[in-house]
Amino acid sequence: MCPIVPTSNLISVVNEMESYATSLPRYGRQASRSTLGEGLRSAQFFSDRMLLVELIRKGIPTTLFLTIKDLAPFSDEEWSDFLDISLKSLQRYKKEPDYLFKSIHSEKIIELAEVTVMGLEVFDTAADFGAWLNAASPALGGKMPLELLKDSYGQELVIQELHRIDQGIFV
């Protein structure tokens, strides 16, 4: 049986993302940093679009990517496919701690982090979330949610479905 993902792990990842973004010179001066450690849902971080824009433009550092990757239920091959970079390049980047992903890759990493955090909040275990990602969903036109994560429109559909599941609305 897969253990329940502790809320502290989710909060830790989101706080690390927020900390990195608010340390950026342009955003850091304007930021009124809100912590997620006091029972606030991580959705609040992802709703701060200006913060996400700055984070994407600066680029996700390898260390933050690895933190997100460790939490996400995606293999290296899936990450390679999502980011549209070769597996060999992805493995090389993982060994370079100072590497910053390009903005197009950073945006996809943030999108997948949002799906992961929400999915783990909704399903509680990585195994249940992974099973849902790999099962055909009538609400998603019979497609597996994992198939839809390659582009941002598909990612939005997956997020909307996770919201519906969280609210108890099933198709």
53-104 pLDDT per residue, tens: 988 999 999 999 999 999 899 999 999 999 999 999 999 999 998 999 999 9
In this structure, the chain runs to a length of 171
- pLDDT bin (cut points 50, 70, 90) of residue 30 is very low
Residue 21 has a pLDDT of 72
Residue 39 has a pLDDT of 34
Q: Which contacts (CB < 8 Å, 24+ apart) does range 9-13 have? A: 9/71, 10/42, 10/71, 10/117, 10/120, 10/121, 11/36, 11/37, 11/42, 13/67, 13/68, 13/71, 13/113, 13/117
Residue 125 has a pLDDT of 86
- pLDDT bin (cut points 50, 70, 90) of residue 43 is low
Rounded Cα gap, residues 117 and 46, in angstroms: 10
Q: Buried b vs exposed e over 84-99: b needs ≥16 C-beta within 10 Å?
A: ebeeeebeebbeeeee
Least confident of 44-58, 91-105, 119-133: 44-58
- The tokens for 161 are 């479905």
pTM: 0.81
